[in-house]
């Protein structure tokens, strides 16, 4: 099957969720500082409603210089075929998802014509190396190994770790001393298990062979908490498989040693014009509040 391509033309209208926010009364605590936003935490565990949190990785005091955008004539984005909600084939057969919509916003900001091509994930790096695309926007994690092959923009989101508990045992803050003697589950061999072993030494650790087994253990009450990837957990919490059993406890954990440097857009080594242009456009999209609109459109339960 041939890769699917859809053109993006600068100036294409993008739907806003501001009206939805007003009706729903969503209150955002978005600070103009780098890093994810969190509500002020109490001194001890307590159940309370947390505001929706939107990550931000752009420092308003470090505004990127505007590059010579006139040197860009087209940007050929590459994304993968099936990683919802970040990229997937929409009902009309065209690429869709968070990454695709973000690419559209960047194209509008740069005012350049773009295309997006869907390919199998394992072919993306070879495709950009052989000049079959200009930029990979496919939830590609920044690692030292990949930095040797491609250059990355600044991170545009992270995959934090979080605790989940049953709804009747939610904590607003999670510290090692709070989980002393508690049964905590994690996927065996994962970075989340390694983090628990290093930082939550007084908890009773229970490894499970898969995410499905881990979540089922929490539903059945076999463990008090589970610890894992907050993005997939957010969709589980808000989906039918959880049977509304559970909710996040505490805030996100983003230590790069365990949970990575973040997710960036990859370009060919040495393509500084495109990398700088995308960094400039990412900052502008965030500064205008359009990143917040996009995030809230896709994440009704925030991973942060």
pLDDT at residue 136 tops 50: yes
Query: Residue 219's domain spans which residues?
Result: 161-259
Number of domains into which the chain is organized: 2
Asked if residue 210 lies in contact with residue 216, where contact means CB atoms within 8 angstroms, the answer is no
Q: What is the pTM of this model?
A: 0.76
**Residue (of 194, 172, 239, 249) closest to 212 by Cα position:** 239
Say if residue 29 is in the same domain as residue 147.
Answer: yes
Q: 232 to each of 86, 112, 229, how far by Cα in Å? A: 12, 33, 6
What are the tens digits of pLDDT across the range 68-88? 999 999 999 999 999 999 999
Say if residue 217 is in the same domain as residue 272.
Answer: no
Say if residue 125 is in the same domain as residue 268.
Answer: yes
Say if residue 122 is in the same domain as residue 93.
Answer: yes
* DSSP labels, 166-221: EGGG--S---GGGGTT-EEEEETTSHHHHHHHHH-TTSEEEEESSHHHHHHHHHTT
Residue 122 DSSP code: G
Q: Dihedral angle at the C-alpha atoms of 269, 273, 275, 278, nearest 10 degrees? A: -160
pLDDT at 251: 92
Is residue 52, in this structure, part of any structural domain at all?
Answer: yes
Is residue 236, in this structure, part of any structural domain at all?
Answer: yes
pLDDT at 269: 96
Say if residue 128 is in the same domain as residue 188.
Answer: no
Q: Using 50, 70 and 90 to split pLDDT, how confident is the model at 7?
A: very low
pLDDT at 27: 32
pLDDT at 262: 92
Is residue 197, in this structure, part of any structural domain at all?
Answer: yes
Say if residue 154 is in the same domain as residue 170.
Answer: no
Considering Cα of 116, then 119, then 122, then 124, what sign does the dihedral take? negative
Q: Using 50, 70 and 90 to split pLDDT, how confident is the model at 53?
A: low
Say if residue 168 is in the same domain as residue 92.
Answer: no
Cα separation of 117 and 133, whole Å?
8
Say if residue 109 is in the same domain as residue 20.
Answer: yes
Span of 10-14, 96-100, 225-229 with lowest mean pLDDT: 10-14
pLDDT at residue 3 tops 50: no
What are the tens digits of pLDDT across the range 252-284? 999 999 998 899 999 999 999 999 999 999 999
Q: What share of the chain has pLDDT > 90, as a percent?
A: 73
Say if residue 88 is in the same domain as residue 179.
Answer: no
145 contact partners, CB below 8 Å, separation of at least 6: none
Q: 151 to each of 15, 195, 202, how far by Cα in Å? A: 31, 28, 41
Q: What share of the chain has pLDDT > 70, as a percent?
A: 82
What are the tens digits of pLDDT across the range 283-298? 999 999 999 999 999 9
Is residue 303, in this structure, part of any structural domain at all?
Answer: no
Residue 222 belongs to domain with CATH number: 3.40.190.10
Is residue 72, in this structure, part of any structural domain at all?
Answer: yes
pLDDT at 301: 80
Is residue 141, in this structure, part of any structural domain at all?
Answer: yes
Is residue 144, in this structure, part of any structural domain at all?
Answer: yes
Say if residue 117 is in the same domain as residue 186.
Answer: no
Is residue 43, in this structure, part of any structural domain at all?
Answer: yes
Say if residue 92 is in the same domain as residue 38.
Answer: yes
80 contact partners, CB below 8 Å, separation of at least 6: 87, 118, 119, 120, 121, 124, 138, 139
Say if residue 153 is in the same domain as residue 30.
Answer: yes
What are the tens digits of pLDDT across the range 147-161? 999 999 999 998 899
């Amino acid at each position: 099957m041939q890769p699917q391509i859809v053109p993006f033309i600068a100036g294409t209208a993008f739907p806003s969720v501001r009206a939805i926010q007003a009706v729903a009364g969503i209150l955002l605590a978005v600070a103009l500082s780098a890093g994810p936003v969190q509500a002020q935490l109490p001194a001890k565990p307590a159940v309370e409603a947390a505001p929706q949190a939107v990550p931000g990785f752009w420092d308003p005091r470090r505004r990127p210089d505007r590059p010579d955008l006139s040197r860009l004539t087209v940007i050929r984005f590459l994304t993968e075929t099936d990683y919802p909600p970040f990229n997937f084939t929409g009902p009309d057969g065209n690429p869709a998802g968070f990454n695709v919509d973000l690419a559209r916003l960047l194209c509008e900001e740069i005012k350049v014509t773009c295309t997006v091509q869907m390919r199998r994930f394992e072919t993306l790096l070879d495709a950009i190396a052989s000049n079959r695309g200009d930029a990979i926007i496919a939830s590609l994690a920044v690692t030292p190994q990949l930095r040797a092959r491609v250059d990355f923009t600044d991170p545009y989101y992270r995959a934090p770790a979080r605790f989940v508990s049953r709804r009747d045992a939610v904590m607003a803050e999670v510290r090692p001393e709070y989980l002393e003697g508690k049964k905590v589950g994690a996927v065996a061999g994962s970075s989340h298990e390694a983090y628990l072993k290093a930082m939550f030494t007084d908890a009773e650790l229970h490894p499970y062979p898969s995410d499905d087994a881990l979540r089922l253990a929490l539903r059945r009450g076999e463990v008090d908490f589970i610890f894992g990837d907050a993005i997939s957990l957010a969709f589980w919490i808000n989906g039918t498989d959880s049977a509304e059993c559970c909710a996040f406890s505490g805030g996100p954990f983003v230590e790069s040693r365990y949970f990575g440097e973040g997710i960036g857009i990859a370009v060919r080594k040495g393509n500084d014009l495109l990398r700088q242009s995308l960094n400039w456009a990412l900052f502008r999209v965030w500064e205008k509040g359009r990143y917040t609109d996009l995030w809230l459109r896709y994440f009704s339960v925030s991973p942060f």
